[in-house]
Structure 1
Amino acid sequence: MTQATDFEPIFEHFIKQNSDHDLAHDLTHIKRVVNTAKVLAHQEQADLWIVIPAAYLHDCFSYPKDHPERHLSSLLAADKALQFLLSIEYPAHTYQAIYHAIAAHSFTANITPTTTEAQIVQDADRLDSLGAIGIARCIQVSCNLDSQLYSAHDPFAEERELNDQHYAIDHFFSKLFKLPETMNTVSGRKEANKRVIFMRQYLNQLRQEIGGF
């Protein structure tokens, strides 16, 4: 009997053929999101026929972070994903739910996920912005934007306005530390809080090293 997991090699091949993302949104990011989504789907008893393709294809189209139409990326990715699913004759009854899960995953799109599957894909994608991998990805993105790691005069924005366009560490405070409260699932929120603790430990260590320990 065919299962959703049987399509994974096809999804992965498609992503490899259509990969024009920055390093922070490459195939390794996709596979981490898929793995996390599977764990959450098991815990939330969600439909893998929807979760797996949506997780694989959520970034099949993406504008750069600084693109003026960045907020449209997830909708365009959903359109592209549906065209692909049609071409491989993936079960048609899943299309609407997969489209919604992909469209709603994006932070900038500001679309509320209304299904368990969409909530899981959104949580899985946001979890990949936190913890050890989240730190690494944040620095990768900041390098692409020619940002500095931190402000030499006020590294942790204690006496200035946050500016994550110029300083990578500012993004921790302006967005990343707020992600746990946006999680849809209990399991996602628990994991997000655990990863934020690690990130705060990293900042404490960074503070010591900047200050000459």
Structure 2
Amino acid sequence: METLRRTLRNIAERDMAQDSAHDLAHLDRVWTTSQRIAETEGGDLRVLIAAAYLHDLVNLPKDAPDRAQASRLAAQAAAPHLRALGFSAPEIENTRHAIEAHSFSAGIEPETVEARILCDADRMDAIGAIGIARAFSVSGQLDRPIYDPDDPFAAERDPDDSAFSLDHWPVKLLRLAEGMQTATGRALARDRVAVMHRFLTDLAGEIGTEPPQHWNTASC
């Protein structure tokens, strides 16, 4: 398995357009989390490792107009590599489905245990401590302020994550736990969302306001 991991990782390093939120470290974390979930949920580890390392093979910017097509394009790009590595036709189909269905924006329902695990593992990387770091990193690349200085937690306005980094939390990130596909994923997500709420409490204290109780939307 380690030889296969190194080969897949080398393919991603060569072919994937990397950014600070979608890099080799992200792929390593997704694979680690996938293994953790698979310990209790089952699944084909060959399919999972291939999907984990090739799921962002086509990585489009968050604000790209065709962003929703990225996972389908990544699945297409992965297939020739899988054939060259000796994956069977069913393994390739299973891996492609997992890659296609992992994306939040693609809106594809995961139909296999491997697809559900990859979906959870990828979304897990958007919450918790690493999720906080990634969210602010991406927003910095998009030149967005951390928060609205007049209403940091959108108490008197609709959240706008195209304008402020912190607004992405109630719009999407704090809701990811609700959509976890596996029982193991839901349990892990609860712990990671708790980390984010502790951060919000600390942030509110530092900027001299009350923490956003109306953002407690991530129960599983």
Task: Return the match for 2:37 from 34, 37, 40.
Answer: 40
Do the aligned partners of 1:54 and 1:101 also contact (CA within 8 Å) in 2? yes
TM-score by length of 2: 0.92
Task: Return the match for 1:149 from 146, 151, 157.
Answer: 146
TM-score by length of 1: 0.95
Task: Give the whole-Å Cα distance in 2 for the aligned partners of 1:91 and 1:8.
Answer: 17
SS at 1:23 equivalent? coil
Q: How does 1:3-82 map to 2 (within 5 A)?
A: 4-82=1-79
Do the aligned partners of 1:5 and 1:52 also contact (CA within 8 Å) in 2? no
Residue 36 of structure 1: CA displacement?
0.3
Deviations 1:110-164 (CA, angstroms, capped at 9, x unpaired): 0000001100000000000000000000001101111000001000000011011
Task: Give the whole-Å Cα distance in 1 for the aligned partners of 2:163 and 2:204.
Answer: 19
Deviations 1:73-98 (CA, angstroms, capped at 9, x unpaired): 00000000111112232333301100
Structure 1: any 5+ residue segments left out of the alignment?
none
Identity %: 42
Task: Give the whole-Å Cα distance in 2 for the aligned partners of 1:19 and 1:56.
Answer: 10
Residue 5 of structure 1: CA displacement?
4.2
- Whether 1:175 and 2:172 are equivalent positions in the alignment is yes
Alignment RMSD, CA only? 1.3
Do the aligned partners of 2:16 and 2:59 also contact (CA within 8 Å) in 1? no
Residue 18 of structure 1: CA displacement?
1.4
Give runs of ≥4 in structure 1 deviating > 6 Å.
none
Deviations 1:181-206 (CA, angstroms, capped at 9, x unpaired): 10011110011111111101101100
Task: Give the whole-Å Cα distance in 1 for the aligned partners of 2:155 and 2:196.
Answer: 18
Q: How many residues align?
A: 210
Task: Give the whole-Å Cα distance in 1 for the aligned partners of 2:2 and 2:101.
Answer: 22
Task: Give the whole-Å Cα distance in 1 for the aligned partners of 2:206 and 2:53.
Answer: 39
Task: Return the match for 2:202 from 183, 200, 205.
Answer: 205
Structure 2: any 5+ residue segments left out of the alignment?
211-220
Task: Give the whole-Å Cα distance in 1 for the aligned partners of 2:149 and 2:15.
Answer: 39
* Higher mean displacement: 79-88 or 172-181: 79-88
